[in-house]
Amino acid sequence: MINTGKLAGRTIFITGASRGIGKAIALKAARDGANIVVAAKTSTPHPKLPGTIYSAAEEIERVGGRAHPCVVDVRDEQQVRTAVKDAVAKFGGIDILINNASAISLTDTLGTEMKRYDLMHQINTRGTFLVSKECLPHLLKSNHAHILNISPPLNLNPRWFAPHVAYTMAKYGMSMCVLGMAAEFHSAKVAVNALWPRTAIHTAAIEMLAGSDSFNTSRKADIMADAAYAVLIREPHQCTGQFLIDDEVLSSSGITDFKQYACNPDYVDKLMPDFFLDVAEDKSNVQKLEKASDALTGQIPALFGKIETLLTADLVKKTQAVYQFNIEGEEKGTWHLDLKNGAGACGIGEPKVTPDATLTMKSTNFNDMFSGKLKAATAFMTGKLKIAGDINKAMKLEKLMRSLKNKL
């Protein structure tokens, strides 16, 4: 997406702009000569995540923008008000707000601590509402007022609620702000829209969640930056109340080469879909899976038999997790893998101790996962794998399967 200069001199307030998608959008707008308010919590380096509000500000100014770093926890009403006041004092107003700050926990109901529940709702839903509320008096004075929330389309398919209802509720709260505020401020010519990625976007946070293998099956944050830019250069009356998808926005803007956004161009046809977007299944693939399922009788017992011969104290020490597998389909049944106690154990039935993670999937997908054909993270993101319990320990299976692949 070529820069047009249309955002030159515009002031953009971006939450969570010290890294990831927020920073990518900031840099794209900065190349037009925009003023960027970097509103984020990270003022000192994080031990696991790169970037601070100050390093982001330096990058913004290097590419041609003006930056104002502000320490802002979107849960803190006074911090938000102070940041908005300071931004207006420095740049003379606010033209665009991007609600990007978000918290995620892909845990089921019983596995979600109320502290984590409150964090997600305070940052995602309340934070978006609060920052919008404080910026709106200034947006109403602008002749190019936009609010853009990085949130998904409202999709009431139960598959997006059942595995992580707390996160879904919090994220949909951001989208409901779009629905309501777009209508409320339509006559005032304040555009309010949502933008969401078609595929997983590679950021440091996603790598922490899904592991380093997520790089190959993800797109760069640049695609979200380009899509956001395409939306923000439009006149506010041209687009409001929309739930937009990154590649659809770019297609409508004449972009046809999406390979440029793939982290690994060799995987351009194997990208991991993001949450909340229903993907129509390819009937030919379904038929292939059904045929494959017919030929799988007895493979799961054989697989667990092989795993049992490979169990070692060292493997137990490295993994420290107990898994329960609820298998559906041709080889329906319950199996367990104890890599936490003694020298390890596996076999049919539930584990003797409470499992750290319970994984539910079809037998075809189970065999593909343990043979290396299907990654655990990909299976989870595409709905082929349901996880209850500790998702981080569930994702340890990725490393386990890689280490056992050749032996299995």
Reading the block at residue 178, the tokens are 């779009």
Residue with tokens 């100050």: 54
The DSSP secondary structure of 41-97, one letter per residue, reads: S-SS--SSS---HHHHHHHHHHTT-EEEEEE--TT-HHHHHHHHHHHHHHHS---EE
CA 290 to chain centre: 31
Which residues are CB-contacts of 380 (< 8 A; sequence separation ≥ 6)? 106, 386, 387, 391, 394, 395
Half-sphere exposure of 406 (CA within 13 A, CB side): 1
The C-alpha atoms of residue 395 and residue 389 are separated, in whole angstroms, by 11
In whole angstroms, what is the distance from residue 39 CA to residue 15 CA? Answer: 5
Backbone angles phi, psi at 9, to 5 degrees: 80, -10
Q: How far, in Å, CA of 131 to CA of 111, rounded?
A: 30
- The answer to whether 148 and 99 are in contact (CB under 8 A) is yes
Of 117, 167, 172, 323, the catalytic one is 167
Residues 6+ apart with CB under 8 A from 80: 39, 72, 74, 130, 131, 134
261 classed as catalytic: no
Please count the CA atoms within 13 angstroms of the CA of 330 that sit on its side-chain side: 18
Give the angle 352-358-360 at the CA atoms, nearest 5°: 125
User: Would you tell me how many other CB atoms lie within 10 Å of the CB of residue 279?
Assistant: 9
Rounded to 10°, the helix 391-404/363-371 angle is: 60
Catalytic residues: 167
